[in-house]
Amino acid sequence: MRRKILHPASQKTLHMHDGTMIPQLPSPSCRNYIIRPFAVAIVCLGMGLGLSWAIAQPAPGPPADPRDQQLELNLDPQRVVGPDACSKCHAAEVQVWKNTPHFHTFATLHRRPEARQIADRMGISEFRRDSACTQCHYTMQTQPDGRLQAIAGVSCESCHGAARDWLEIHNDYGGPGVTREQESAQHRLQRLQRSIAAGMRNPVNVYLVARSCYRCHTVPDERLVNVGGHRPGSLDFELVSWSQGTLRHNFLRGDGHTNAPSAPDRLRTMFVAGIIADLEFSLRAAAKATAEDKFAIVSAQRADRASRRLQAIEAKTHVPLLRDILHIYQQVDMSLGNQAAMAAAADEIAALGIRFAAQTDPQALEPIEAYIPQPSVWK
């Protein structure tokens, strides 16, 4: 088997002040490739259909950790409860959301000239009814009469999972009258385990939320890019800088009134988790490619960029799970038509990404502190 990789000459680099070079994504028009042989041995983890991908068996050994639970990445409209249900307990968080592009896209997307041009090329007449738009830009809910309706833009459940099956579990701190402050450590562990098992993407594991981000910020739709002319993802998307500015809603880590920044240890884990998720979903996008056009080329380039960033980080931190992730990527054939192997590799990387966020000591990531985006560049 043979594998396409980007020619080193096509790579741009970001020079860190400590001398480290982090690869940047080249122009989407770059088609300069070389070929090298490789050996591949991928075990298929059972990819689901559509946007539903099974990932992450619990890591072996006690104690049980809710962050290692199996999770399906999808948003079932029959299980969506809507942001109003969240605002009952998370009013401050919902108020932050109402001042973000995620909220405003519901009222503005269909008015944007660029979006209208894409829709015209795709033959889309109603933004809120076409899956090319609804899969990322809207929160869809099944109504009592069976109709599928867009009820919001990118909302709470877009990131944290459709809540019908886990909302009551999430709100139960140990029985009637027991508050969050009174909840026992044992009950909290059980509550997190049960809510994640029921479909919640709880930020107790940053990789669960990172997957929600990259699922859409890699634009998983070949026709939307090649025919519609949609951008092939947010090529400058980086988890820390994009989540810690306007979108940040960390009220629960403070007194309920302060939107506190995440601690440095968490930011390190978040930074690396985001790059792992970038690699995972770039592989998923590449697996869907059927033609050597913009979508396929950028997806492959983006995966290669993420792998090179992980190589630079692993060289500084020597975290074994990063070596395992890189090994999986280095073995996969990125040729068109190799969907099953690329999807299986993405499944394996997802499982390791969850383990990385759950098990890696943030102190082991201290050597990459210079990489972490500072508040001055948070969006």
Specify the pLDDT at position 233: 92
Strands 71-72 and 2-6: unpaired
Quick count: other Cβ atoms within 10 Å of Cβ 359? 13
Q: What is the sign, positive or negative, of the torsion defined by CA atoms of 183, 185, 189, 190?
A: negative
Tens digits of per-residue pLDDT, 278-312? Answer: 999 999 999 999 999 999 999 999 999 999 999 99
CA of 98: how far to CAs of 84, 106, 351, 378, in Å?
Answer: 12, 11, 33, 18
Q: Is residue 28 part of a domain?
A: yes
Name every residue whose Cβ is closer than 8 Å to that of residue 265 and which is 6 or more positions away in sequence: 362, 363
Residue 128 lies in a domain: no
Highest mean pLDDT of the ranges 10-19, 222-231, 257-266: 222-231
Q: Does residue 115 lie within any of the structural domains?
A: no
Query: Which uninterrupted H or E stretch holds 277?
Result: helix 264-288
Task: Report pLDDT digits (tens) over 58-89.
Answer: 334 433 444 444 433 358 899 999 999 999 99
On whether residue 176 sits in a domain, the answer given is: no
Residue 64 domain boundaries: 1-73+205-379
Whether 89 is in a domain gets the answer no
Q: How far apart are CA 310 and CA 279, in angstroms?
A: 9
Taking alpha carbons only, the member of 112, 153, 117, 111 closest to residue 135 is 153
pTM exceeds 0.85 for this model: no
Note whether 215 and 281 are within 8 A (CB).
Answer: yes
Residue 109 domain-assigned (yes or no): no
In the prediction, which pLDDT does 256 show?
75
Q: Among 14-28, 191-205, 216-230, which stretch is predicted with the lowest mean pLDDT? A: 14-28
**167/11 Cα distance (integer angstroms):** 46
Q: How big is the CA angle at 265 (ends 259 and 267), to the nearest 5 degrees?
A: 60
- Domains in the chain, number: 1
- Domain annotation covers residue 228: yes
Helix (H, G, I), strand (E, B) or coil at 150: strand
Tokens 């009222």, residue located: 107
In three-state secondary structure terms, 144 is: coil
Task: Name the token pair of 75.
Answer: 């948003």
Rounded CA separation 156/81 (Å) = 10
Span between the terminal Cα atoms of the chain, in Å: 42
Residue 12 lies in a domain: yes
